[in-house]
Amino acid sequence: MATTDSPIKNLPNELLSNVLSELSTKELLPVVSVSHRFCSLATRILHRRLATTASLPGNEVILECYHPSAKISTPYLACRYLGTASSDGPSINEQNPSFVHLRKMYSCFRPVIMEENRRRRFRYGWSVQTLAGSTQLQIAAEDILDETAHQEVYLDEGERFSQLCTVTNVVTHGSRPGLFTRHVNISEGVIRVFRHWLSSMMSRQSTLQSGASSSSSSSSSADGATIASSGTFSSNDSRILWVDRTKDIGLRFKVTPGPETRGTIFEDEPPVFYNLIYEELIIRTSTLLLAVEEAAVKYVAHSGKDIIIASI
């Protein structure tokens, strides 16, 4: 019985690659299972797209991260691209990438205060009793010049954790600040910041600082290294708080002490106050790629239909 091969199989790799390149990422993924040849070509196309998308040319990631009761008063953060990193293994082979390794590629960003908000840092406040007496912390604007983004966490006596709501979006800026012509949600989730995690991060930070003080030449590498600069990281790294179970999006903070609160020496879990400094937002690049392609499909022409995202 005669068999007839599909004409597309007889195409040279260059032409077949051009044909497959016209497919969207969602359309291209099923092609991987057709044959080894198709898998190899599709993998190279996907790898090129991931490498191009990682830095988000023409787009930007914005992050909203807030205590549930401070949603309205907390402005969103801009995210500056730092680089890429691979999880749980060596970096992806640029010359011969493997399809199963593509999901290990992450894009790294540094959340910073938006330029229009850099002189107004909004703080979530509690009434706390300090060792020096009673003090009232308020939601207020502070005169600051730096762009470092902070998040304050307060745990009352016996409270095991605090929650932070996180929303990540891919946007394209419109005609004015705060206006976007494209807007695609990547994820929405809740991070639980546990008391024991805060304590362990403080201990880790103290250890790094004591080591850096004994060797000044290593201070910058010990305290300032990023996942992007390392190139690889473990998905089980305790410094990363993952937004979702699939570990598509995570946040890395530097934990510093807040104002000392009054408690008795007999309390097992006294009131504590910490300041979380945003160091890195990491997003699985394949998730980012799908969001960017969706944003392109949903492109809104400049006809007065800009999307407004603003904080009061």
Whether residue 155 sits in one domain with residue 38: no
Are both 168 and 201 inside the same structural domain? yes
pLDDT tens per residue, range 66-116:
999 888 888 899 999 999 999 988 888 888 888 989 999 999 999 999 876
- What's the burial of 143, exposed, middle or buried (CB within 10 Å: 0-12/13-18/19+)? exposed
DSSP 246: T
Instruction: Provide the number of structural domains found in the chain.
Output: 2
Using the structure block, give the residue that is written with the tokens 């002189």: 119
Backbone dihedral angles phi then psi of residue 285, each to the nearest 5 degrees: -65, -30
What would the mean pLDDT of 226-230 be, rounded to a whole number? 91
Helical spans, DSSP H, in 105-236: 195-214, 219-224, 227-230
CATH number of the domain where residue 30 is located: 1.20.1280
- What's the one-letter identity of residue 214? S
Under DSSP, the state recorded for 238 is: T
pLDDT tens string 120-165? 445 555 555 544 444 444 444 454 457 889 899 999 888 899 999 9
Residue 244 CA to residue 101 CA, distance in Å, equals 20
- Could you tell me the residue range of the domain that residue 129 belongs to? 55-308
Does residue 107 lie in a domain region?
yes
Rounded to whole angstroms, how far apart are CA atoms 161 and 154? 9
